[in-house]
Structure 1
């Protein structure tokens, strides 16, 4: 298998795992992250195959999506070995993935990991980020918004203030920083309008 064949096999692997996800962490999220990471990798002189493969696979062991992250990582590595990805490349993909998650609060140690983290964060903001926020909130039974103490903190709108509006300033690469500006501005416009309509104030 060449690298294009490897990517095609990885794509099918991810589709079979996440095609039916309704939380905003579906196959199309993985696809957007992978393609965006590949594009940024070319601009940032990173290893494109490792970056794109890590983008496709970055959520395979996410605790939000699996009860056993360790088993998911083992299965991922066995899959990569089975399609002929060599050990050093498998290792590089794993290292690129390990610190991507926002909740861990870490910055990946490799440029490929930094790029995947940027691509994942870019997919959490802007129009797609807004849609994903409400998809995830709905999957967890969370209200859109609330003014009640104890409920407000769990609402989907609060997630913008707790995380999404912070992401613009947490991008690693210059390419992602530029991309994040427009998406961030769109979220601010959305929130302004949302709160106007929520309060019948327009």
Structure 2
């Protein structure tokens, strides 16, 4: 698998991943490491999990692009073209493509295999915890979104709106993803990361003179 991984990294290094720091090469590296750990714990096939994790965001569509829900399907199609070009074993390709397509939150594709669940969990875990906080505010900055609503930071008198406020994204999406994790190992790690995020918000609320929900 090590020789294959070198090819996957080379493919990513030659791909325009865009300016989004939440989906740079470091993101892929983290997702692969998490996916390997989950796969080992759950007994999933590395031959499917590893290439799917390396190639899961091969086609990156910005968060505010109306085509966002198509990104995982486009990534799966591009991954298959690449894997066939390097003669990756054909028997694994359908499950790799499914794992890539099913990883996306916005696509709404239900994982049908253990490997797809592992890759989905690994990607969603990267949106939680300390790295999840960093990614959230990095993307908020890219989109021109403020950190929080200075009049009502934690939406006591308004609906959550993560198009306007970075903190709102924790409640609109991130905490919800922790509840969608499918593997036992993923749920355990997700609970730890979500708790850290709640501790962060409590501290943030203290520093800005408010109270987190």
Q: TM-score range by the shorter chain?
A: 0.7 to 0.9
1:183 to 163, 181, 193: 193
Runs of 4 or more, structure 1, over 3 Å off, are 18-23, 65-75, 147-153
Q: After TM superposition, give the deviation of residue 73 of structure 1 in Å.
A: 4.2
List gaps (5 residues or longer) in structure 1: none
Distance 1:75 1:106 in 2: 18
Please state whether the residue corresponding to 1:24 is helix, strand or coil. helix
CA RMSD of aligned residues (A): 2.5
TM-score of the superposed pair, with normalisation by structure 1: 0.87
Alignment check: 8 A CA contact 2:56 2:76 kept: no
Give the direction of change, closer, same or farther, for the CA distance of 1:82–1:111 in structure 2 (3 Å limit).
same
Q: After TM superposition, give the deviation of residue 71 of structure 1 in Å.
A: 5.7
Distance 2:76 2:111 in 1: 17
In structure 2, the residue matched to 1:112 is: 115
1:30 to 23, 28, 31: 28
Distance 1:167 1:73 in 2: 22
The Cα offsets for residues 17-40 of structure 1, whole Å up to 9 and x where unpaired, read as 256633411111111111110111
List gaps (5 residues or longer) in structure 2: 153-157
Moved more, 63-72 or 92-101: 63-72
Does residue 1:76 correspond to 2:79, yes or no?
yes
Alignment check: 8 A CA contact 1:35 1:52 kept: no
In structure 2, the residue matched to 1:193 is: 203
Give the direction of change, closer, same or farther, for the CA distance of 1:22–1:153 in structure 2 (3 Å limit).
closer
Alignment check: 8 A CA contact 1:145 1:152 kept: no
How many residue pairs were aligned? 199
Please state whether the residue corresponding to 2:182 is helix, strand or coil. coil
Distance 1:109 1:165 in 2: 23
Alignment check: 8 A CA contact 2:48 2:96 kept: yes
